[in-house]
Amino acid sequence: MAEPRSITSKDNPLLVRVRKLVADPGGYRKFGEVWLEGDHLCAAFAQRGGRALQALVSSEGWQQPRLRELAGHAAAVAIVPAELMAGLSTLESPGAIGFVVATPTAAAITPDAPSVLLDRLQDAGNVGTILRSAAAFGFTQVVALKGTAALWSPKVLRAGMGAHFGLRLVEGVDAGALEALRLPLLATSSHAEAALHEVDLPWPCAWVMGHEGQGIAPDLRRRCAMSLRIPQPGGEESLNVAAAAAVCLYESARQRAV
C-alpha cells in the first residue's frame, strides 16, 4: 500500500476537486474522474479488479483494518478528518472511505448483448435502480439515450449499489445509434392487448424504458417488435418506471429459467 498522507485543510486541491465532482452530476465528463463514496461502492469496484487513483479515508475509518485493507486498492491514500470527509458527502451519514477512479472509457454498443435502453429518464434514483435490476436479472448492457440522467453521477452510483461495475454502460447516444443493436426491442404499454406473461419473450432482447412523464418517444416505440401490458389487478394506472423495469427484466429471466 502507498504510504498514506494526512490532509488537514479544506482548501487542499484534492478535496476541492472531489467537492466539484460531488456537486456536478456530469462532472466526471469534465474532470475525467468519478467519486465513489462509501465502503460498499468501493468494495464493489475493488472486487471487479478495479484500482483507484486515490483513496480518502476518515481518521476514524483508518482505525478499522477492513477499511485500511480496502484503501490498499488505490494508488494513493489520504487520511482526512471526519469533518472534512463530511464535506465530500451529500448523505446524512457520510461514508468513512471514498475512491477517486478514472472515468470509464466510453463503450460502444455491443450488438447482441441483452440490453436495457433508457429513453430520457430524468430521475437519478430510477436510473440507478434500473441498473441494479439489469445486473440482477442477467442483462449485461445499458444504453442511455441523450437526455437521460448521467450514469456515473453520485446519485445514480448510490442507487446502483455497485451494479455499474458489472455492466457495459453506453451513454449520450441518439436514437440512430440503436441501429447497431441486433436484438428485438420490447416496450410496455397499459393499452397493449397481450400481457407480459402471456407471450414467449425473445432472448436476447432489449427492453426500452421511457421518460417518467412522457414515456417512450414515438419514433423509438415504432421500432419495438412488441408492446406488452403489465397486469395491475390493484387498479393503478401505471407503475414507476424503475418498478416496471424490474417486472419486465424478471419476467425475461423467469422465462429463460423455465
Q: Quick check: 236 pLDDT over 80?
A: no
State how far the Cα of 233 lies from the Cα of 238, in Å rounded to an integer: 11
The owner of cell 424504458 is 209
pLDDT at 216: 96
* Per-residue pLDDT band at 197 (split at 50, 70, 90): very high
Query: For residue 106, what pLDDT band results from cuts at 50, 70 and 90?
Result: confident
pLDDT score at 103? 96
- pLDDT interval class at 91 (50, 70, 90): confident
Q: Please give the Cα distance from 51 to 78 (Å, whole number).
A: 15
pLDDT at 235: 72
Position 107 confidence tier, pLDDT thresholds 50, 70, 90: confident
Q: What is the pLDDT of residue 233?
A: 84
DSSP H helices in the chain: 13-23, 27-31, 39-47, 65-71, 82-86, 124-136, 154-160, 218-222, 241-257
| The three three-digit cell numbers of residue 185, written as one number | 426491442
**Could you tell me which of 250, 228, 231 has the C-alpha nearest to residue 239?**
231
**What pLDDT is recorded for position 90?**
83
SS3 label, residue 221: helix
Give the distance, in angstroms, between the CA of residue 14 and the centroid of all CA atoms in the same chain. 25
Q: What is the pLDDT of residue 18?
A: 97
> Can you tell me the mean pLDDT for 130-150?
98
Full strand arrangement of the beta sheet holding 226-228: 168-173, 141-145, 115-119, 206-210, 185-188, 226-228
